[in-house]
Amino acid sequence: MSETNPAATAPVTADAAPHRYTAAMAAEIEARWQDFWDAEGTYAAPNPKGDLAGDPELVARPKKFIMDMFPYPSGAGLHVGHPLGYIATDVFARFQRMTGHNVLHTLGFDAFGLPAEQYAVQTGTHPRASTEANMKNMVSQLRRLGLGHDKRRSFATIDPEYYKWTQWIFLQIFNSWYDDEAKRARPISELVAQFDSGERAVPGGGTWSALTEAERADLLGEYRLAYASDAPVNWCPGLGTVLANEEVTADGRSERGNFPVFKSKLRQWNMRITAYADRLLDDLDQLDWPEAIKLQQRNWIGRSEGARVDFPVDGERITVFTTRPDTLFGATYMVLAPEHPLVEKFTPAAWPEGTRDAWTGGHATPTEAVAAYRAQAASKSDVERQAEAKDKTGVFIGAYATNPVNGEQVPVFVADYVLMGYGTGAIMAVPAGDQRDFEFARAFELPIRCIVEPTDGRGTDPSTWESAFASYDAKIMNSSNDEVSLDGLGVVEAKERITEWLERTGAGAGTVNFRLRDWLFSRQRYWGEPFPIVYDEDGIAHPLPASMLPLELPEVEDYSPRTFDPDDADTKPETPLSRNEDWVHVTLDLGDGRGPRRYRRETNTMPNWAGSCWYELRYLDPHNSEQLVDPEIEQYWMGPREGLPHGGVDLYVGGAEHAVLHLLYARFWSKVLFDLGHVSSAEPFHKLFNQGMIQAYVYRDSRGIAVPAAEVEERDGAYFHGGEKVSRLLGKMGKSLKNAVTPDEICAEYGADTLRLYEMAMGPLDVSRPWDTRAVVGQFRLLQRLWRNVVDENTGRLSVADVAETDVDADTLRALHKAIDGVRQDLEGMRFNTAIAKVTELNNHLTKVGGPVPRPVAERLVLLVAPLAPHVAEELWRNLGHTSSVVHEDFPVADPAYVVDETVTCVVQIKGKVKARLEVSPSVSEEDLEKAALADEKVVAALGGAGIRKVIVRAPKLVNIVPA
Ligand code: ANZ
C-alpha cells in the first residue's frame, strides 16, 4: 500500500451524516479561525511599553517567552518532520496562555547562508529573490498549521533593519576588550585611557602618546574582542571560503559539502570567545539544558588543568603545556609543532656531533630536514596528524633543551603529532606515560624512563614494555632531585608538589588550558552581513559610525564565490564583494575629526551564525530603530528572576546538532552584551529542549538508489516499486531520499488539527519516531468522536445536556477530573503524547456512557483539547455559546476530591489462608504490592520469622505467600 494513497482513507471522509467532522469541514473551520485570529491579533503579546504596548492586565501576568530555533528558508519547503518542534512549542505556549501567562511566541527566518547562494549560482537568480520566494512559501505552509505566533514580531535576518543591529553588535564587540581582573568586557576606550595615563604599561616600554597610529591599532588589536589576525585558519578551497573550527568535522572536512580543509595563513576576522571560556563553562551549571548538550559544550571548551614548564635552550626557552607535570622526570625529549615560530630560531646550520642517523630523516643539514618535514606536515589535516594508529614521524632540529628538574640535555624534534593550535604548540615527551611519545621514542631510539610504578605486573624495565603505562592510581618513582622528591606519591599529590616547586624556582607555574579557540568570523561569501569596517590608506581598520548603519549589501553582477580544486591547498580565497570596485573604494567622513578620506571597505562577510546570535532580542522589540532593544522591554521578557538566575528565554526548542555552534556563539554574544550593559540577561536560553527527529522509510532498488516512497506497494510483507522488489530501511525524511511527506498533503487529507495531534501523539517529544501516514487517521477519528460528543452529526446542533455539575454521575466526574489533572501535568512537563492519551480516554468514556454529554464536562473537554487542536476547540467553544476566544480561557483545574485514586482490597494469604487485607491502588505494580504485603504487621506476625520460599502476586487483588 502506498504511504500517501488518498484512496486508503477515503471511507473516513466520504460520509452520510451531514454534520460529521470531515476533512472538508476541518479545512473550512481551520481557514475561518486562522483568518479570525489574524484579524483580531489573538496571539499578540503586549510589551510593557513602546509600539507593541498593550493590555496592562496581560502585561501584569508572569511572562513566558517560548521560542523555536528559527528555520532556514530552504527551497525544498517543509516536510512533516520540520514542524514537530513548532507544534510542540505552540501547544506549550497555548497551555501557558491558558494558565495565566503573558506568552511571547513568534517565528522569524534565518535567511543568510550558503544554500541560497549555491542555488543562486546554479540558477542565476539573486539570492534575495530565491530566499524571499522560499520564505513566502514557508509562511503559507506554517500558517496552515494554526501556529499561534505574534506575527508583528517576525522578521528575517536579511532585513537591513535587522542586520543593522547585527552590524551594530559587531561594532560593540570590536570596540571592547576583556578585563581579566574584572572578568568582564569593557569599552576599548577605557583600555586606551589606562595606557594613556600609564596605569597600564605599554608593552615593550614607551608611552601611548609616542606610539604611531599603526602601532596603537596593532596594540589594541591584541585586546579587542573582534580582531583581525594572520593566524593559520581552516581554508576550504572546495567551498572557496574559510571556516570556523566548529564547522570542520572530526575528520578534517567541511561540515557542509564534505570538502577537505587545510590550515592556511590568511588575514581574517576573529571573535575572542576564548576570553569567556571560564564563564561559558561555569554558567552552564545553572541552565536547564539536556545534560548531553552541556557535556558537548564542556568538552568543546575543554578545560585542562596542568602546568606550564620552561625548558631553557641557549638563553631562550621552550614553554610546554602539560597535564602531567608529575612526569617531568620522565621527559626524555621534546617536540615542537612543525609550525612553531621558534623552530627556525633553534635550528642550527649543521648537525651537532653525535646526532643519530635515525633522527635526521636522511638530510644533510637540520635546515633542510626541517623544511622538508614542514612541507610534508602542511598537507595533512589535524586529525590525520593526531591519529593514534599512524606511524610517528618527525625530525631532530639539531638543538637540545634543558630539563629543568634534572638538568638533562634533551633533544628537540619537530613532529606532526603535536599541534600548533593547542596548549603552547610544544610538549615535553614522556614516553613511559604517553602512548604517542612511547611509539615515537621506539621509532627514534630515545630513552624511556620508568617514572610510575606499573600496577599491572609488567615490571619497571621499559625495554620490555609494549606500550606506555598510564594510571592515576600508581605511585611515582625515579623522580627526585636535591630540592624535591615525588617518589612514593600518588599522581594528585605529586602534581601539587612539583607545581609548587616549579613556581618556587620560576621554572613554570600551574595553569589552565582550554581547547576552545577563537571564533573565525569572516567568510568569502556574498550572501551575508557586510562588516561595518573600512581600511584607510595605511591599512588601519576603522569602524563605521553607528549612523552609517545598516551598511547594505551592494548589488553585484556576480555573487558566486570563487571555488577551487578541493584538494589544492595552495589556493587563496577571493571575496565576491571585492568585485564591486565602486562599493569597495569610498570617500567617507567617519566623524572622527579626520574629515572626508578615501577608504577601502572590508569585503568579507559575516558567517551565517551571526544573525542567530541575538535574534531572541529582536523578537522583544522588533521595530526599534533607535536601540538594540529597549532595556525595560528586555528586562520584562528576559531578565533574571527566581528560577532564571541568568535570565533568558523560558523555553527554547530545536535540534541537538547546534550544541557547539549556534548555542555557544549565542551565549558568547549574550555575555558581551550583558557586560557592556545593553541587556540584563547573561544567558540567552534558560531552558533548552531537543526534539527528536521524524524518520521515514527509505526504499531502495537493487542498485541502491532511493525510489519514491509514495509509489511503493506492499505485498505480503515485501515492498515493490514498478514490479521490482525494493528494500526498506528507516532513515531521514527529505527530498533527496524521495520519502518526504509534506504537511500540506496531510492538512488537505485530514486538516491541521489532526496533523498536530498525530505529531504530538507519536511518542515522547525528545525521541525520534518513524512517520506512518496510515496511522494519522487514528487522530482524525479522535476528533470525529470529540465532535460527535458535542455536536449532533445529523442536525449540526449542540447536543450537550444543560445540567449542573452536581447532576453529573460520579464515574464521569472522576474520569473528567483525573483527565484534567493528568493533562495539566503532562502539558506542563511537555509530555504531549500522554496528554493526548488522557484526552482520548476521557472522550472514550463519554462515548461509552452514551447520551448527551453534560455541559460542564463537554466544556472542560474542549478546553483540555484547545492547546493541542486549537481550531476544532475554538469552533466547539463558540458552538457551546461562548463569545470570546478559547485561546484566552482559563485551563480547567481538577477538583482534588475526584482525583484521589479509588482503592481495591487486596487479600494476603499464607499457605492459602487469608491473613491480611490491604487497601491498594488498582494500578499498583506487582513489585510494590509484594513489598506492601511482606511489610504488613499481620503478615509479619503470621510468618513468625519463617523464611519465604515463594510469593505469588496477582495485582491488585491477591498475594499468596509460601513460607520456607
Ligand atoms: C606530558 C605528559 C605525560 C602528557 C603523560 C600526557 C601524559 P589534554 O588533556 O587534552 O589537555 N599536549 C600538549 N600540547 C599538545 C599539542 N599542542 N599537541 C599534542 N599534544 C599536546 O592533553 C594535554 C596533554 O597532551 C599534555 O600533557 C601533553 O602531553 C599533550 F604521561 O605532557 B602531556
Please tell me the residue having the least CA distance from ligand 1 atom 32.
Answer: 322
178 C-alpha to center of ligand 1: Å? 28
Please tell me the residue having the least CA distance from ligand 1 atom 20.
Answer: 418
Q: Using the Cα atoms of residue 450, residue 455, residue 456 and residue 457 in order, give the sign of their dihedral.
A: positive
Residue 419 and residue 337 in contact, taking contact as beta carbons nearer than 8 Å: yes
Q: Based on the number of CB atoms within 10 Å of its own CB, is 937 exposed (0-12), middle (13-18) or buried (19 or more)? A: exposed
Residue 131 and residue 559 in contact, taking contact as beta carbons nearer than 8 Å: no
Distance between CA 57 and CA 958 in Å, rounded? 56
3-state secondary structure of 480: strand
The pLDDT assigned to 387 comes to 67
Please tell me the residue having the least CA distance from ligand 1 atom 28.
Answer: 322
What is the pLDDT averaged over residues 12-37?
88
3-state secondary structure of 45: coil
- Set of cell numbers at residue 853: 454529554
What is the pLDDT averaged over residues 916-931?
90
Residue 922 and residue 855 in contact, taking contact as beta carbons nearer than 8 Å: no
Least-confidence region, from 589-593, 628-632, 658-662, 812-816: 658-662
Amino acid (1-letter code) at residue 925: S
- Set of cell numbers at residue 276: 569567556
3-state secondary structure of 920: strand
Q: Using the Cα atoms of residue 486, residue 492, residue 498 and residue 500 in order, give the sign of their dihedral.
A: negative
A 10 A CB-CB count for 585 gives 12
Nearest residue to 369 via CA among 432, 412, 326: 412
Amino acid (1-letter code) at residue 340: H
* pTM listed for this prediction: 0.86
For a substitution probing ligand 1, which of 322, 328, 514 has the most ligand atoms within 8 Å of its CB?
A: 322
What is the pLDDT averaged over residues 413-431?
94
Nearest residue to 218 via CA among 553, 539, 616: 539
Task: Look at the block and give the residue holding cell 591519529.
Answer: 387
Instruction: For residue 432, give the ligand 1 atom closest to its CA.
Output: 31
What is the pLDDT averaged over residues 199-214?
94
668 C-alpha to center of ligand 1: Å? 27
Q: How far is CA 863 from the centre of its chain?
A: 34
Peptide bond into 956 cis (omega under 30): yes
What is the CATH number assigned to the segment(s) 303-514? 3.90.740.10
What is the pLDDT averaged over residues 881-899?
95
Residue count (the chain): 964
Strand order in the sheet with 316-322: 316-322, 303-313, 508-514
323 C-alpha to center of ligand 1: Å? 6
A 10 A CB-CB count for 780 gives 24
The pLDDT assigned to 902 comes to 72
Q: Based on the number of CB atoms within 10 Å of its own CB, is 211 exposed (0-12), middle (13-18) or buried (19 or more)? A: middle
- Set of cell numbers at residue 114: 550558503
User: Helix 188-197 and helix 213-221: axis angle, to 10°?
Assistant: 120
Peptide bond into 770 cis (omega under 30): no
322 C-alpha to center of ligand 1: Å? 5
Q: Where are the domains of the chain?
A: 1-40+786-900, 168-276+519-601, 303-514, 902-963
The pLDDT assigned to 563 comes to 87
Distance between CA 190 and CA 193 in Å, rounded? 5
User: Alpha helices of 176-302 — where are they, by DSSP H?
Assistant: 188-197, 213-221, 277-282, 291-301
Least-confidence region, from 385-389, 511-515, 576-580: 385-389
Instruction: For residue 513, give the ligand 1 atom closest to its CA.
Output: 11
The pLDDT assigned to 757 comes to 98
Distance between CA 908 and CA 918 in Å, rounded? 8
Nearest residue to 319 via CA among 506, 478, 482: 506
Please tell me the residue having the least CA distance from ligand 1 atom 26.
Answer: 322
The pLDDT assigned to 622 comes to 98
Task: Look at the block and give the residue holding cell 531520499.
Answer: 737
Least-confidence region, from 2-6, 177-181, 363-367, 496-500: 2-6
Instruction: For residue 433, give the ligand 1 atom closest to its CA.
Output: 31
Give residue 10's pLDDT band: very low, low, confident or very high (50, 70, 90): very low
Distance between CA 475 and CA 494 in Å, rounded? 9
| Cα dihedral value 349, 352, 353, 356, nearest 10 | -110
Residues with CB under 6 A from ligand 1: 304, 321-324, 327, 337, 418-419, 422-423, 425, 427-428, 430, 433-434, 513
Nearest residue to 645 via CA among 688, 687, 673, 677: 687
3-state secondary structure of 25: helix
Nearest residue to 479 via CA among 489, 464, 492: 489
Whether 924 shows a pLDDT value over 70: the answer reads yes
Please tell me the residue having the least CA distance from ligand 1 atom 8.
Answer: 304
What is the pLDDT averaged over residues 923-929?
90
- Set of cell numbers at residue 922: 488498582
For a substitution probing ligand 1, which of 422, 437, 471 has the most ligand atoms within 8 Å of its CB?
A: 422
User: Alpha helices of 771-831 — where are they, by DSSP H?
Assistant: 777-790, 810-828
| pLDDT tens per residue, range 596-624 | 999 999 999 999 999 999 999 999 999 99
Whether 953 shows a pLDDT value over 60: the answer reads yes
Nearest residue to 406 via CA among 500, 306, 312: 312
Task: Look at the block and give the residue holding cell 571592547.
Answer: 176
3-state secondary structure of 16: coil
Backbone angles phi, psi at 917, to 5 degrees: -125, 135
Distance between CA 93 and CA 153 in Å, rounded? 16
Whether 6 shows a pLDDT value over 60: the answer reads no
- Set of cell numbers at residue 677: 550593559
| pLDDT tens per residue, range 701-751 | 999 899 999 899 999 999 999 999 999 999 989 888 899 999 999 999 999
Least-confidence region, from 29-43, 270-284, 571-585, 826-840: 571-585
Is residue 313 within a helix (H) or strand (E), and if so which, with residue range? strand 303-313
User: Helix 855-865 and helix 810-828: axis angle, to 10°?
Assistant: 20
Nearest residue to 219 via CA among 240, 239, 203: 203
For a substitution probing ligand 1, which of 304, 342, 419, 427 has the most ligand atoms within 8 Å of its CB?
A: 427
284 C-alpha to center of ligand 1: Å? 26
In angstroms, the first-to-last Cα distance of the chain is: 59
Please tell me the residue having the least CA distance from ligand 1 atom 22.
Answer: 323
CA atoms within 13 A on the CB side of 244: 24
Q: How far is CA 579 from the centre of its chain?
A: 36
> Left if phi > 0, otherwise alpha if psi is -120 to 50, otherwise beta: which for 250?
alpha
Please tell me the residue having the least CA distance from ligand 1 atom 2.
Answer: 324
Burial code of 854-893, b = ≥16 C-beta within 10 A, e = fewer?
bbbbbbbbbbbbbbbbbbbbbbbbebbeeeebbbebebbe
Instruction: For residue 422, give the ligand 1 atom closest to its CA.
Output: 17
3-state secondary structure of 108: coil
**Who's near 6: CB < 8 A, 6+ residues apart?**
749
For a substitution probing ligand 1, which of 321, 326, 495 has the most ligand atoms within 8 Å of its CB?
A: 321
Give residue 569's pLDDT band: very low, low, confident or very high (50, 70, 90): confident
For a substitution probing ligand 1, which of 323, 438, 452 has the most ligand atoms within 8 Å of its CB?
A: 323
| pLDDT tens per residue, range 259-278 | 999 888 888 999 999 999 99
Do the domains 902-963 and 1-40+786-900 match in fold?
A: no
Query: Which one is the CATH code of 1-40+786-900: 3.20.20.70, 1.10.730.10, 1.20.20.10, 3.30.460.90?
Result: 1.10.730.10
The pLDDT assigned to 120 comes to 78
Longest dimension (CA), the chain: 107
Distance between CA 673 and CA 334 in Å, rounded? 43
Distance between CA 685 and CA 369 in Å, rounded? 52
| Partners of 387 in the β-ladder | none
Residue 565 and residue 576 in contact, taking contact as beta carbons nearer than 8 Å: no
98 C-alpha to center of ligand 1: Å? 56
Distance between CA 466 and CA 435 in Å, rounded? 10
Distance between CA 958 and CA 678 in Å, rounded? 66
| pLDDT tens per residue, range 209-232 | 999 999 999 999 999 999 999 878
The pLDDT assigned to 207 comes to 95
Give residue 383's pLDDT band: very low, low, confident or very high (50, 70, 90): low
Distance between CA 135 and CA 111 in Å, rounded? 8
Task: Look at the block and give the residue holding cell 599529590.
Answer: 493
Query: Which one is the CATH code of 902-963: 3.40.640.10, 3.40.190.10, 3.10.20.590, 3.30.750.200?
Result: 3.10.20.590
What is the pLDDT averaged over residues 431-447?
96
Distance between CA 704 and CA 681 in Å, rounded? 51
Instruction: For residue 470, give the ligand 1 atom closest to its CA.
Output: 31
Whether 21 shows a pLDDT value over 80: the answer reads yes
Distance between CA 287 and CA 666 in Å, rounded? 14
**Who's near 922: CB < 8 A, 6+ residues apart?**
901, 902, 903, 904, 956
